[in-house]
Amino acid sequence: MILLRHGQSVFNLHYGATGEDPDIPDAPLTPLGHRQAEAAAEALAGEGIRRILCSPYTRALQTAAPVAARLGLPVLVTCAVRERFAASCDIGTGRTALASAWPQLDFGAVAEVWWPDAEEPHDLFHARTTAFRSEMAADPDWAHTLVVCHWGVIMALTGRSLDNGAWIRLERDERITLGE
């Protein structure tokens, strides 16, 4: 399975410069973030991807779009790989508005309000990412699946920190042990 961190978002840009939450809900990509998404599409073209799963956050959808276009694949939207809710950028956009903005995507499995209303506890986030990994480990398309997601999800699944627009291949039998 390949995990792709979304490109740089407006939130990432401001938070990186100030260390303070800039109060930007569901932050979109910056111009650099769009370039990172295009670069990822080019780099991933030869990786044998047959399926794209994506978080419903705008920054992830914008990152998945050029990959999907380049590979001629649909994007399957799933809340299982949404970021841990902890900052303003983790306030999402409602399903109806997403479906209007992305009419080619199916948001049928996404609730109208799909993000929590308070900070997601670490144990619940860990349980969610562990369940996702277990479900995917049983999937015969594991090796051919791209997951467009977030720093926290990638850290939880691999124990590694990735920069915006970077990707990593996770082997099915790779064991990750993280300190608490």
pLDDT at 175: 64
Q: Break the chain into its structural domains and give their ranges.
A: 2-169
Please choose, from the candidates 152, 154, 148, the residue with its C-alpha nearest in 3D space to the C-alpha of residue 170.
Answer: 154
pLDDT at 29: 98
End-to-end C-alpha distance for the chain, whole angstroms? 25
pLDDT at 110: 97
DSSP per residue, 86-152: -SGGGS---HHHHHHH-TTSB-TTS-SS-S-SSPPPHHHHHHHHHHHHHHHHT-TTGGGEEEEE-HH
Residue 80: other Cβ atoms inside 10 A:
17
What's this model's pTM, rounded to 2 decimal places? Answer: 0.95
- pLDDT tens per residue, the chain (180 residues)? 999 999 999 999 999 999 999 999 999 999 999 999 999 999 999 999 999 999 999 999 999 999 999 999 999 999 999 999 999 999 999 999 999 999 999 999 999 999 999 999 999 999 999 999 999 999 999 999 999 999 999 999 999 999 999 999 999 887 654 443
CATH number of 2-169: 3.40.50.1240
In a 13 Å sphere around the CA of 40, the CA atoms on its Cβ side amount to: 32
Find residue 54's DSSP bridge partners: 77, 148
DSSP 8-class letter at 174: -
What's the full length of the chain, in residues?
180
d(CA 45, CA 40): 8
- Residue 116 tokens read as 């929590």
The answer to whether 95 and 110 are in contact (CB under 8 A) is yes
pLDDT at 172: 84
The angle, 0 to 180 degrees and rounded to 10, between the axes of the packed helices 58-71 and 31-44 is 40
**Residue at token pair 């860990």:** 126
